[in-house]
Structure 1
Amino acid sequence: VHSGRGGQFEKAALADGSRLLITTQGGVRVVGTDDDRVTVDDATLARWDGDADTRTLDLPCAEGDDRARDNCGGMPLVHVPAGVTLTVRARDAGIDVSDVRGALSLSTVNGDVTVQDSGTKEARQRLVTRNGSVRATGLAARDVGAETVNGDVDLLCATSPDTLDGVSRNGSVRVTLPVDAPPYATDTNTVNGRSVVDVPAAASADRRHRLTLRTVNGDAEAHLG
């Protein structure tokens, strides 16, 4: 039940395939479930806007409200239907997503982006932070964009994406593709580190699958796993 636009929120129905935006000044843990509802813990302050095409769940940081304490740099837990298209915009903590089988767009500034057993092979997955690492296991995607400035990018893919871009400045970029991955047109570049590619190489005219890994200070690696 939620109390209307902008009001205190506990739960709301949301169909698979719907678009959900979560905003927070801290971080958030998001877990996909077989339920058709978005839920937060009763002790967590949250506000819901269910009137737009993209539903919005805001986790405000109001220092004077005890219910918002975990929102201020913490990691409150949100359960969502597993098939939603999920966007998370965080700021001063990490984003942790597991078992969400839709398209993902996850961004924070100071914190890690961690993804487990999520995504879908038909969608683009965007995973971005500035000061932190991007780590994913069991990631399904058609296209992947993973980026940080200060931290590692470490991706273990459950499917073979058409394109994958992994970028860091101060950290290593490592990608593991399925053992049956097709040949890739691969572009790896590092200034202070090693470059290792153990995936099949595509013919020069074949650009159907592209892998781009770039860093300045760190290794750039692509493997089959």
Structure 2
Amino acid sequence: MMNEQYEQLTEAIAQGDLATVDAMLSQFMIDALPEDQYAIAEQLMHYGYLTQADDILQNLLFLLPDEPQLLIDRANVAMELGDEDNALDFLMQVNEEAEEYPQALLALADYYQMQGLFEAAMQRLEQALVVLPNEPLLQFAKAELLAETGRFLEASRLYEELYTQQTHMGGLSLAERLADVYRAGAAYEEALRYYKLALDEEIKPDTLFGAAMRRFNLSSMPMPLKH
């Protein structure tokens, strides 16, 4: 019976049949094991059914009140729903001794960045990097924040370091990121080099336009005077 419920919910979520999801969810939360409930919550989050996902996460927190991952997940869902106050409350409940604490700090950094509190966001990222100094996701988040605040040289160094290890982060091209940050910092030659690398990965209109503009920038720069 349980497998049938799970499969029906999974199919309804994938097909976007929200009426079936809503009709089944309450009974599912009564019958299902916590791990099955969490798996369905993940599927709901993936497809953007955040209110339904939060219902399950709230139920799981009632069953497992000391599970920090559930607090972090509820915070992320709350932020997506625009409920920043509750998001902050959930994150503040994560114990500093928890293994998931760096993840909570990353979510806090995201929260403060959304609020335009860039210094507070950077402080949280630095705290997380003390615990996990070689975590690529944290390094990428720091590079993104540096780029957003106009610290292009520092951002490019972090992106470069990441690029030596992998070409993409979370589905995003690091070559494109490097091209954009070098362009923003007016380092057009370096930008063009990375636009070319990004085009080797995938030809996209925005990347082609960026490469063309950087060629124009370089060709229109004044030649050095001869003595």
Same-fold status (TM-score > 0.5):
no
Bigger share in strand: 1
Bigger share in helix: 2
Greater relative contact order: 1 or 2 (C-alpha under 8 angstroms, separation 6 or more)? 1
Which protein shows a greater Rg? 2
